[in-house]
Amino acid sequence: MKLIVGLGNPGRKFEKTRHNLGYAVLAELARRIGAGPPRAKFQGELADGELAGQKVLLLSPTTYMNRSGSSVREARNFYGLADDDVLVICDDLNLPVGKIRLRASGSSGGHKGLADIAENLQSEQFHRLRIGIGAPPEGWDAADFVLARFTAEELPEIERAVVRAADAAADWVRHGIAYCMNRYN
């Protein structure tokens, strides 16, 4: 069994913002694997399906980005999963728009959602898939930038990145993190 977590903020106000790329990838993956409708569980929305003969849990925490850790911890503990059976998908302002990067473990890199998950799991050994949103333009506050929508020029690249990230998440289930780092990084 694998747990794939897409980070974002709940509510219409945050739909299609840079910070909600994790939600977008999870929606694409849910569509592909024919996951049932999400249900409220673990302080989030949980859907499940099957991929490559494995049960796949898709969790969208509704705790807001910076407090995602308790949701992930509850799901991981309930299902008795190891940290390396968890893949967290999130935005990254340190990567160019549309670039994806997978890592087996590591620091939060300043991402408050990842930091909260690491704190709640008491581990940095969970896998992560980051999608670049680019750096804030000069004069922009990073918090305002991540809550902004993509420009018309960025949208085609982001749409391709969401599809590619869903491909990577599916390959993570099928082949593991080492394969994905070699193929997608």
Active site residues: 19
Cα 26 vs. chain centroid, distance in angstroms? 7
3-state secondary structure 89-104: EEEECCCCCCCEEEEC
Tokens 């929305």 map to which residue? 45
**Cα–Cα distance between 68 and 71 in angstroms, integer?**
6
**Cα–Cα distance between 74 and 81 in angstroms, integer?**
11
Number of residues in the chain: 185
> How is the beta sheet containing 39-41 ordered, strand by strand?
39-41, 44-51, 54-61, 2-6, 86-92, 127-132, 100-103
Q: Which amino acid is at 11?
A: G
Cα angle 160, 92, 35 (rounded to 5 degrees) comes to: 55
